[in-house]
């Protein structure tokens, strides 16, 4: 088993081990937020025929001549939306036409209703259209045989609308990883439990399950294991059918840290332990041979658990789900205060982030102890303080992983 990997080495390692999950077929509306596992090729032409982009009159442009407007045409028939046109436009004729209605044969332009005057069977054309003005061409959106969506695309409102337009009632998407979540420790209780006598709520169970749901993975909560080898083993065994098993706490070197031993006893091959980062050094990674789950033994401290989930589990789950990019958005931010550390480990500094006069500024959320969960609620990003660096001075810039999906949300619309 390797130890003391850098975060970058550990990320490469876990991502190399992670498979992309197979496809499954879901109904198109249920595909929302899922990652497409097929290339979608159109069997339809959209729009299906030349049609009007306006309410107005379909005309033969040549009938209007080269002289200046106006000119009068005879209104021969009407084409409502959804109607089949069974008649061509003859010389000197106009057809009343509504938005989305097919253009009658012979017509090659549409005049907006506002640019006409109707008088009984006759219409005066006040503004002459250019050829094909206000006409939407058949196939201008999608043609038969067009490859319209690529594998790896996330299905959002526009994609679902397009699939619906193509008559696709089902779609192939990547399976959602099932993530077994286990907490361990004699001090832990469920949120409604009794916290007398120094017990604490197992917050990790909740925050890690929330992380999974937010990603579109499926959490399976295995409960709290007591600090005995047998109980840890029994709980871990229950997670063997998942795609990923995430356990928090009990992976350090304390007398009550039974996770590593229990995993090995169950046949899990531990591949590495210990990543040169802070918070989150005591991270264990392994896998069950064959079709068994990837296993992450995260540290127990709530911040360490969340930061290691961010760096290793989240990208793995995104890869499994078929995403093409696995990491959070990065920004270069100007730090607003001095930061110091010892060399050797990369620090992930919880920072608040703000956009100010065209740049992003970052400030530490304060106490960076790995037990201070509130610092994570205040953090909009994790600042990467490189392993070898010891100082960041106010005014320096640094790379920040943006955690808050609303960071780019605005309070005004820009219009």
Site string for Mg ion, 181-220 (x = CB under 5 A): ----x-----------------------------------
Instruction: Tell me which residue has tokens 């959320």.
Output: 365
User: Which residue, 103 or 249, has its beta carbon nearer to ligand AMP?
Assistant: 249
Check binding of 249 to Mg ion (CB under 5 A): yes
Q: Which residue is nearest to ligand AMP (CB)?
A: 300
Whole-number Å distance between alpha carbons of 30 and 292: 28
User: Which residue, 103 or 249, has its beta carbon nearer to Mg ion?
Assistant: 249
Q: Which of 188, 225, 295, 317 binds ligand AMP (CB under 6 A)?
A: 188
DSSP code at position 153: -
Exposure of 163 by Cβ count < 10 A (0-12 exposed, 13-18 middle, 19+ buried)? buried
Shortest distance, CB of residue 250 to Mg ion, whole angstroms? Answer: 5
Q: Which of 56, 250, 280, 315 binds ligand AMP (CB under 6 A)?
A: 250
Residue 239, number of CB atoms within 10 A of its CB: 23
Q: Which stretch binds ligand AMP (CB under 6 A): 70-78, 128-136, 140-148, 242-250?
A: 242-250
Whole-number Å distance between alpha carbons of 274 and 312: 13
Return the structure tokens found at 94: 């106009």
Q: Which of 252, 352, 368, 399 binds ligand AMP (CB under 6 A)?
A: 252
Shortest distance, CB of residue 196 to Mg ion, whole angstroms? Answer: 19
Per rule CB under 6 A, count of chain residues that contact ligand AMP: 18
Whole-number Å distance between alpha carbons of 155 and 295: 29
Query: Of how many residues is the chain composed?
Result: 415
Shortest distance, CB of residue 277 to Mg ion, whole angstroms? Answer: 20
Check binding of 248 to ligand AMP (CB under 6 A): yes
Q: Which of 204, 247, 311, 364 binds ligand AMP (CB under 6 A)?
A: 204
User: Which residue, 138 or 201, has its beta carbon nearer to ligand AMP?
Assistant: 201
> Can you state the percent helix, strand and coil of the chain, rounding each to 5?
20, 35, 45
User: Which residue, 129 or 299, has its beta carbon nearer to ligand AMP?
Assistant: 299
Site for ligand AMP in 266-305 (CB under 6 A): 299-302
Check binding of 279 to Mg ion (CB under 5 A): no
294, 177 contact by CB (below 8 A): no
Check binding of 398 to ligand AMP (CB under 6 A): no
Instruction: Tell me which residue has tokens 């879901």.
Output: 26
Dihedrals phi, psi of 269, to nearest 5 degrees = -90, 110
For the four alpha carbons of 153, 158, 161 and 167, in that order, the dihedral sign comes to negative
DSSP code at position 232: H
Backbone conformation region of residue 132, classed left if phi is above 0, alpha if psi is from -120 to 50, else beta: left
**Residue 299, binding choice from ligand AMP, Mg ion, none, Cβ under 5 to 8 Å by partner class:** ligand AMP
Check binding of 113 to ligand AMP (CB under 6 A): no
Return the structure tokens found at 382: 């994790």
**Residue 301, binding choice from Mg ion, ligand AMP, none, Cβ under 5 to 8 Å by partner class:** ligand AMP
184, 256 contact by CB (below 8 A): no
Instruction: Tell me which residue has tokens 């003391």.
Output: 4
Check binding of 375 to ligand AMP (CB under 6 A): no
Angle among Cα 150, 35, 14 to the nearest 5 degrees reads 110
Check binding of 231 to ligand AMP (CB under 6 A): no
Q: Which residues bind ligand AMP (CB under 6 A)?
A: 183, 185, 187-188, 200, 202-205, 248-250, 252, 254, 299-302
């Amino acid at each position: 088993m390797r130890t003391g990997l850098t975060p970058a080495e550990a990320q490469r390692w876990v991502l190399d081990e992670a498979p992309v999950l197979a496809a499954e077929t879901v109904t198109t509306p249920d595909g929302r937020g899922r990652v497409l596992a097929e290339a979608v090729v159109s069997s339809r032409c959209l729009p299906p025929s030349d049609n009007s982009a306006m309410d107005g009159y379909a005309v033969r442009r040549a009938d209007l001549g080269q002289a200046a407007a106006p000119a009068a045409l005879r209104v021969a028939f009407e084409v409502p939306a959804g109607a089949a046109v069974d008649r061509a436009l003859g010389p000197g004729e106009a057809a009343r036409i509504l938005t989305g209605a097919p253009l009658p044969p012979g017509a090659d332009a549409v005049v907006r209703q506002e640019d006409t005057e109707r008088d009984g069977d006759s219409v005066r054309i006040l503004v002459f259209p250019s050829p094909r003005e206000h006409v939407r061409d058949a196939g201008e959106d999608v043609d038969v045989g067009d490859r319209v969506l690529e594998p790896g695309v996330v299905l959002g409102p526009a994609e679902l609308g397009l699939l619906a337009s193509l008559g696709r009632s089902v779609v192939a998407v990547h399976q959602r990883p099932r993530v077994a979540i286990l907490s361990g420790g004699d001090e832990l209780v469920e949120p409604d439990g009794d916290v007398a006598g120094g017990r604490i709520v197992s917050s990790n169970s909740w925050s890690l399950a929330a992380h999974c749901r937010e990603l579109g993975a499926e959490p399976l909560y295995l409960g709290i294991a007591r600090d005995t080898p047998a109980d840890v083993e029994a709980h871990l065994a229950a997670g063997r059918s998942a795609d990923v098993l995430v356990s928090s706490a009990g992976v350090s070197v304390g007398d009550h840290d039974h996770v590593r031993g229990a995993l090995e006893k169950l046949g899990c091959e531990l591949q590495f332990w210990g990543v040169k980062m802070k918070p989150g050094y005591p991270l264990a990674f392994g896998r069950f041979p064959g079709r068994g789950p990837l296993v992450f033994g995260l540290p127990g401290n709530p911040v360490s658990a969340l930061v290691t989930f961010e760096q290793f589990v989240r990208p793995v789950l995104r890869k499994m789900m078929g995403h093409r990019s696995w990491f959070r958005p990065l920004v270069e931010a100007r730090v607003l205060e001095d930061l110091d550390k010892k060399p050797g480990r990369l620090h992930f500094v919880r920072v608040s982030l703000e956009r100010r006069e065209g740049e992003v500024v970052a400030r530490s959320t304060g106490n960076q102890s790995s037990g201070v969960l509130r610092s994570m609620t205040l953090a909009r990003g994790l600042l990467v303080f490189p392993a070898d660096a010891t100082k960041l001075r106010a005014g320096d810039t640094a790379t920040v992983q943006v955690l808050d999906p609303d960071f780019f949300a605005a309070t005004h619309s820009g219009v």
